[in-house]
């Protein structure tokens, strides 16, 4: 039998799509770099079907690219024309919410927003949150160890991962859906699979930690003059706001661009730095004196020059809309979106150094900075008026070479995929990369899973 015939015989009806039945969306993730539709698109509906599909593909030496919601920003889910794409979209069942253990067990294809809503209906929050919440899947988020805006309080996906079910390249099912934080039983295989971007195994189910639902979230927007003031406000917020759940900074250019795109005028003029502060409160509804006191102290100490407290969900949404920058792709076509991390105290100096070096070599380029400053995570929105691959690479090289001097990471949360493969050596030593290759060879000796992703080509 051919590969397609074997897969059709093993999987449920409608699970094997070929030719024109393969939807356009299978071509690329949100990075837009995918060029090819896959050979086949598989849509298994159970862990057993994922296992059967991988067993058959392994026997045929067929490469497989796992796909979730295709919102990734590193090209990790993009197939070559010779790959089989394996979509987890049908594994979207929420199996259980265990209130006593404060955890949720769900399928890898479950959409983040659906999981958040299910948790909320049971009186909990699943706190990892990001702009792509309506499409990103739990499996894809674990595979990329997604972060988002509340990492400062609740951590990334790995921090909220209790148990994982994963299918290895040869079809072996490893199911360890533990409901406990304390589980020192040998190697943490789930933590290894998390962040491996589909190169070590296919995630089929997970058990994730749930957190108490805060009674209220309060949000403030602060104007500041210098990056040193951003750091002073962060220190103050960390000590005075026990529920601090987001601390997001925008440099002037980023704020001005997105405020205008949202048709808002939040401050009389775009400040040099703007910070969104969010805090979760469980002590009672209404405006918290703690946040107001903090802002008053910051104003007295000349740390901030102005501040707005959201009086409604609508106000808070407008602050976040500027930060989330929904119009960036339209405003800056061909945008290069870098996602680096480095010691929080050095972020201002790093941004200044990158801006200066780019202005010297590419005077017409624009670079905007924003990010999860509380987590040392900075995003760089780079725009070249006439983008071409060589110039884009040169601008990236300036940013990553500068980052190397700050001992930073070339990927804070988006992953490596294909886009940052060639820069991995800026953040990981040759010995570390060699160890990663050994792990890959141990779990996927025939290099079936997500070829060409994460690890640079061997010399």
Ligand X SMILES: Cc1cc2nc3c(=O)[nH]c(=O)nc-3n(C[C@H](O)[C@H](O)[C@H](O)COP(=O)(O)OP(=O)(O)OC[C@H]3O[C@@H](n4cnc5c(N)ncnc54)[C@H](O)[C@@H]3O)c2cc1C
Kindly identify the residues of this chain, within the stretch 10-39, that bind ligand X according to CB under 6 A: 29-30
CB neighbourhood size of 87 (10 A): 25
Contact pick of 28, 102, 409, 450 for ligand X (by CB under 6 A): 450
Contact pick of 16, 108, 266, 294 for ligand X (by CB under 6 A): 108
Contact pick of 89, 229, 413, 444 for ligand X (by CB under 6 A): 413
Taking CA 109 as the corner, what is the angle to CA 73 and CA 59, rounded to the nearest 5 degrees? 90
**Which residue matches tokens 């979760």?**
280
Residue 142 and residue 203 in contact, taking contact as beta carbons nearer than 8 Å: yes
Q: Which stretch binds ligand X (CB under 6 A): 39-47, 238-246, 265-273, 413-421?
A: 413-421
How many residues form the binding site for ligand X (CB under 6 A)? 37
Token digits of residue 384: 């070249």
440 contacts ligand X (rule: CB under 6 A): no
Contact pick of 414, 420, 421, 440 for ligand X (by CB under 6 A): 414
Residue 168 and residue 201 in contact, taking contact as beta carbons nearer than 8 Å: yes
Which CB atom, from 38 or from 139, has the smaller least distance to ligand X? Answer: 139
Which CB atom, from 396 or from 413, has the smaller least distance to ligand X? Answer: 413
- How many helices and strands, by DSSP H and E, does the chain display? 15, 18
> In Å, what is the CA distance from 170 to each residue of 57, 204, 316, 417?
8, 15, 48, 22
- Residue number with the shortest CB distance to ligand X? 140
Q: Which stretch binds ligand X (CB under 6 A): 17-25, 136-144, 257-265, 422-430?
A: 136-144
CB of 377 to ligand X, least distance (A): 9
CB of 138 to ligand X, least distance (A): 8
DSSP string for residues in 367-406: EEEEEEGGGTEEEEEEE-SS--HHHHHHHHHHHHHHHHHT
Which CB atom, from 147 or from 271, has the smaller least distance to ligand X? Answer: 147
Residue 163 and residue 110 in contact, taking contact as beta carbons nearer than 8 Å: no
276 contacts ligand X (rule: CB under 6 A): no
53 contacts ligand X (rule: CB under 6 A): no
CB of 157 to ligand X, least distance (A): 8
Q: Give the per-residue contact string, 311-330, with ligand X (x = CB under 6 A; - = no).
A: --------------------
How many CA atoms does the CB half-sphere of 75 hold within 13 Å? Answer: 19
CB of 110 to ligand X, least distance (A): 10
203 contacts ligand X (rule: CB under 6 A): yes
Residue 29 CA to residue 395 CA, distance in Å, equals 23
Q: Residue 281 gets which letter from DSSP?
A: E
Residue 391 CA to residue 168 CA, distance in Å, equals 39
- Residues at the site binding ligand X, with contacts judged by CB under 6 A: 29-30, 65-73, 76-77, 88, 108, 130-132, 136-137, 139-141, 143-144, 146-148, 197-198, 202-203, 413-414, 417, 450, 453
């Amino acid at each position: 039998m051919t590969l397609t015939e074997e897969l059709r015989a093993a999987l449920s009806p409608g699970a094997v799509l070929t030719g024109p039945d393969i939807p356009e969306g299978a071509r690329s993730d949100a990075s837009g770099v995918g060029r090819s539709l896959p050979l086949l698109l598989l849509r298994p509906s159970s862990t057993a079907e994922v296992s059967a599909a991988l067993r058959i593909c392994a026997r045929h030496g067929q490469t497989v690219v796992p796909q979730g919601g295709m919102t990734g920003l590193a090209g990790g889910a993009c197939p070559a024309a010779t790959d089989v794409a394996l979509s987890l979209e049908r594994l979207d069942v929420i199996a259980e919410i265990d209130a006593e253990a404060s955890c949720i067990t769900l399928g890898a294809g479950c959409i983040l927003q659906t999981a958040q809503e299910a948790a909320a209906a049971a009186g909990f929050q699943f706190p990892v949150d990001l702009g792509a919440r309506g499409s990103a899947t739990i499996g894809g988020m674990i595979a990329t160890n997604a972060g988002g805006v509340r990492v400062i309080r609740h951590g990334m996906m790995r921090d909220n991962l209790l148990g994982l079910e994963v299918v290895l390249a040869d079809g072996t099912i490893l199911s360890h859906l533990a409901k406990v934080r304390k589980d020192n039983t040998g190697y943490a295989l789930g933590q290894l699979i998390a962040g491996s971007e589909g190169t070590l195994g296919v995630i089929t189910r997970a058990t994730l930690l749930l957190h108490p639902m805060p009674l209220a979230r309060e949000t403030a927007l602060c104007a500041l003059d210098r990056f040193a003031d951003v750091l002073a406000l962060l220190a103050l917020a960390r000590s005075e706001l026990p529920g601090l759940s987001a601390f997001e900074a925008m440099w002037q250019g980023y704020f001005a661009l997105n405020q205008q795109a949202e048709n808002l005028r939040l401050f009389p003029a775009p400040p040099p730095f703007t910070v969104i502060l969010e805090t979760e409160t469980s002590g009672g509804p209404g405006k918290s004196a703690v946040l107001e006191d903090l802002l008053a102290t910051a104003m007295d100490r000349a740390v901030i020059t102005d501040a707005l407290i959201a009086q409604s969900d609508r106000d808070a949404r407008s602050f976040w809309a500027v930060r989330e920058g929904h119009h960036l792709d339209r405003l800056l076509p061909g945008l290069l979106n870098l996602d680096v991390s480095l010691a929080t105290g050095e972020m201002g100096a790093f941004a200044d150094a990158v801006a200066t070096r780019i202005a010297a070599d590419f005077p017409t380029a624009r670079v905007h900075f924003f990010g999860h400053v509380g987590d040392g995570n900075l995003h760089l929105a780079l725009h070249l008026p006439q983008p071409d691959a060589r110039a884009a690479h040169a601008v990236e090289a300036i940013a990553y070479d500068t980052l190397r001097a700050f001992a930073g990471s070339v990927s804070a949360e988006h992953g490596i995929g294909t886009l940052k493969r060639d820069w991995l050596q800026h953040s990981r030593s040759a010995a570390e990369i060699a160890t990663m290759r050994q792990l890959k060879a141990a779990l996927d000796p025939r290099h079936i899973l997500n070829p060409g992703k994460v690890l640079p080509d061997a010399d």
